Structure 1
Amino acid sequence: MSSTDKQAAGQTAATAYWTVGPGKGGLRREDLPAPGAGEALVRTLFSGISKGTELVVHNARVPECVAAEMAAPHQEGTFPSPVKFGYLSVGVVEQGPAEWQGRTVFCLHPHQDRYVVPVESLTVVPDDVPARRAVLTGTVETAVNGLWEAGPRLGDRVAVIGAGLVGGMVAKLLGAFPLGRLQLIDVDPAKRAFAGTLGVDFSHPDDALPDCDIVIHCSASQEGLERSLQLVGDEGDVIEMSWYADRKVTLPLGEDFHARRLSIRASQVGVVARARRHRRTNADRLKLAVSLLNDPGFDVFLTGQSPFEELPEVVQRLSDGTLDALCHVIEYPSTEATR
């Protein structure tokens, strides 16, 4: 079918990033249908790379037993590959219901320059939130869910272990709580400046203060989880927000774990935390997350930007460690440039 015939049939050309093999990714062209009733055509402005999960996919390390649970909302293909994966996308509605047209929206969609989705999949980005910053909506949502799971109380002593994207985001949100103490803990001394930007106290694991009411673990390391058990107080809670993919983790549960009646509880963003599940939907959680991004302080999490055509190279550089980032932003060409 020629390009003229496709336009007559209501089809729109799109380009998407696919993981095509272990450690390999590339851009692929595809045709989109015209949006149907209750659907919207979105032109992407920015997307963000969620480094931890996306590199697990890039390196073909998603365990088969959880492949279905780890699928992104609008993923195509299956793990390990070929698969179109990602979930931090911000764009403008070009076609769809009248009340949606021209709106800037967030969507849990893979890296793709245009896509058609049901309008129920879209979250309106408020006017006071820049589109570039709005790519963080999915990460803020993860942090909100973790805090709903943890349930910090007035005067609590809280530690967050792991000053990466998720850990930093959790610490950023906790900074607004009336806590008795909050420490962001990491083995990298360079993270001290990052913590200072967030307005949070920083500590190396060896110097961290013990007897915490809650420890939120985000370092995705066995050592970090072990230290979490040491820092949490008797009958305290460790909230595990790391995902280890196919790695095995060994813990010293034969020491004082039972005597001190400690708890390790997982937090995963796929469902609303149990403490709020009967009162909040996933859409409510996303709406809350994007509204919080009116704070310019979140810009510290956006640590680089590259054009869409360089995305395969960027993912590879993140994977091999030659590019360091919290959230690396991908910028898409404008409508005029695309034409």
Structure 2
Amino acid sequence: MRTSRALWTISPSKCEIRKETINLALGSDEVLVRTLWSGVSRGTESIVVRGGVPESEHQRMRGPNQGGDFSFPVKYGYSSVGIIEAIGSQVKNLRLGVKVFCLYPHQDLYLVPASQVIELPDQTSTAEERAVLTPNMETALNVIWDAGVSAGDKICVVGGGVVGLLIAFLCVRTPGCQVVLKDPQPRTEQCKALGIHIFNNQNEFDIVIHASGNPAGLADCLSLASDEAIIVEASWHANQLCLLPLGQDFHVRRLTIKSSQVGSLPPHKRPRWTYRRRLALALSLCCSQDNFALNSLLEHPPLEFDHPEFVQTYLSLFPGRQQEKPSTEKATGLCFRIKYPPLKS
């Protein structure tokens, strides 16, 4: 038996580290993973932490390896990068010491079926850090599929968080596309690194993608779209209302508002694509040394799971909380990561 530690949300905006016992008598198809990094999805986790998941979505919102239930107590998260420490007798496609990705909550050691982990295509330390972006990249892939992005499109992404920047990153790499990012916060460093132009009062876009998480941003998208254009809503607003000006010239311009959600593959992809195939593609894009520029999205310094003020620091990441991070070092990126120490034997 070994003891692991996991982050649990036990009531609105209150978290704690709980110990869990792991039986080292592995099933024949299981692997034991020691966590190196996990990524924080600030948008979704902020909703979970404050207890904002609507009751109607409790089952649909469950993470693959979630502990507990909504609202509380709940162990949540879905971006874990670790190293295999033990392997079941029937696992043939993995080996000890290999770094893997898993959709798992914030926990330093865990046991899962081997089918739930994917080996990192690049085992270097820089690639393992970028691998925490995989769920966001998977969302971005789904969005551009839903949007029908094609060569030469004029595209505006509204919202410069991690998902918005990854969407723009993928669009920029489509031949001939003109891609701009609109966000009230300066994203100069990230846009320069990723080859994205910053919005400068343009309009008449073929595709407008909303990823700000702010209901007002979707209304802004209507004014940016050209006639017959498509507007893709990539944000999840939980139980917030979105007020849209659907009068005036909305119908005359024949605008289309389309939802995109990573929980479902687009209909035109379903005959050939599986969730695992999409996840593997997202992981390979994040790990590829050709995409080293994605490092600009990583926050420095990372959160330290062993730090005595880790829980307080984690809670300070979410909107509406006034407490400051204990670290005095300047934040430089967008994706907050949690770094895990070597486990004590």
- 8 Å CA contact 1:185–1:208 kept in 2: the answer is no
Q: Aligned match of 2:101 in 90, 99, 106?
A: 106
Q: Aligned match of 1:332 in 331, 340, 343?
A: 340
CA distance in 1, matches of 2:236, 2:277: 24
Q: Aligned match of 1:30 in 20, 23, 28?
A: 20
Percent of pairs with identical residues: 39
- 8 Å CA contact 1:211–1:232 kept in 2: the answer is yes
CA distance in 2, matches of 1:123, 1:62: 29
The residue that corresponds to 1:198 in the other structure is: 194
CA distance in 2, matches of 1:270, 1:314: 29
Do residues 183 (structure 1) and 180 (structure 2) align?
A: yes
1:62 aligned partner, one-letter code: V
The residue that corresponds to 1:149 in the other structure is: 146
CA distance in 1, matches of 2:193, 2:293: 8
- 8 Å CA contact 2:215–2:237 kept in 1: the answer is no
CA distance in 2, matches of 1:27, 1:118: 24
Counterpart secondary structure, 1:132: helix
Counterpart secondary structure, 2:175: coil
**Alignment of structure 1 residues 165-244 onto 2, 5 Å:** 165-188=162-185, 190-203=186-199, 207-244=200-237
Counterpart secondary structure, 2:131: helix
CA distance in 1, matches of 2:256, 2:26: 48
2:70 aligned partner, one-letter code: F
Q: What is the Cα deviation at residue 128 of structure 1?
A: 5.5
1:35 aligned partner, one-letter code: L
Q: Which runs of 5+ in 2 are unaligned?
A: 326-330
- 8 Å CA contact 1:72–1:86 kept in 2: the answer is yes
| Deviant stretches of 4+, over 3 Å | 321-325
1:125 aligned partner, one-letter code: L
CA distance in 1, matches of 2:192, 2:341: 35
Q: What is the Cα deviation at residue 166 of structure 1?
A: 0.6
Q: What is the Cα deviation at residue 309 of structure 1?
A: 2.7
**Alignment of structure 1 residues 277-316 onto 2, 5 Å:** 277-293=270-286, 294=288, 295-304=291-300, 305-310=302-307, 311-316=310-315
2:341 aligned partner, one-letter code: P
CA distance in 2, matches of 1:127, 1:303: 21
Q: What is the Cα deviation at residue 172 of structure 1?
A: 1.3
Counterpart secondary structure, 1:70: coil
- 8 Å CA contact 1:55–1:315 kept in 2: the answer is no
Q: Aligned match of 1:50 in 7, 22, 41?
A: 41
- Residue range with higher mean Cα deviation, 164-173 or 90-99: 90-99
Q: Aligned match of 1:133 in 130, 143, 164?
A: 130
CA distance in 2, matches of 1:164, 1:69: 24
Do residues 93 (structure 1) and 84 (structure 2) align?
A: yes
2:260 aligned partner, one-letter code: S
Do residues 246 (structure 1) and 239 (structure 2) align?
A: yes
Residues 261 and 219 (structure 1), Cα distance of their counterparts in 2 relative to 1, 3 Å cut:
same
1:54 aligned partner, one-letter code: E
- 8 Å CA contact 2:232–2:257 kept in 1: the answer is yes
Q: What is the Cα deviation at residue 236 of structure 1?
A: 1.1
Counterpart secondary structure, 2:155: strand
Do residues 17 (structure 1) and 7 (structure 2) align?
A: yes
TM-score (norm 2): 0.90
Residues 298 and 180 (structure 1), Cα distance of their counterparts in 2 relative to 1, 3 Å cut:
closer
Counterpart secondary structure, 1:309: coil
- 8 Å CA contact 1:196–1:202 kept in 2: the answer is no
Q: Which runs of 5+ in 1 are unaligned?
A: 1-10
- 8 Å CA contact 1:183–1:208 kept in 2: the answer is no
Q: What is the Cα deviation at residue 98 of structure 1?
A: 5.0
Cα RMSD over matched residues? 1.5
- 8 Å CA contact 1:149–1:275 kept in 2: the answer is no
- 8 Å CA contact 2:306–2:341 kept in 1: the answer is no
Residues 179 and 200 (structure 1), Cα distance of their counterparts in 2 relative to 1, 3 Å cut:
same
The residue that corresponds to 2:328 in the other structure is: none
CA distance in 1, matches of 2:188, 2:216: 19
Counterpart secondary structure, 1:41: strand
Q: What is the Cα deviation at residue 106 of structure 1?
A: 0.4
Counterpart secondary structure, 2:122: coil
2:315 aligned partner, one-letter code: Q
CA distance in 2, matches of 1:255, 1:123: 50
TM-score (norm 1): 0.91
1:318 aligned partner, one-letter code: L
For these two proteins, the number of residue pairs brought into alignment is: 323
2:197 aligned partner, one-letter code: D
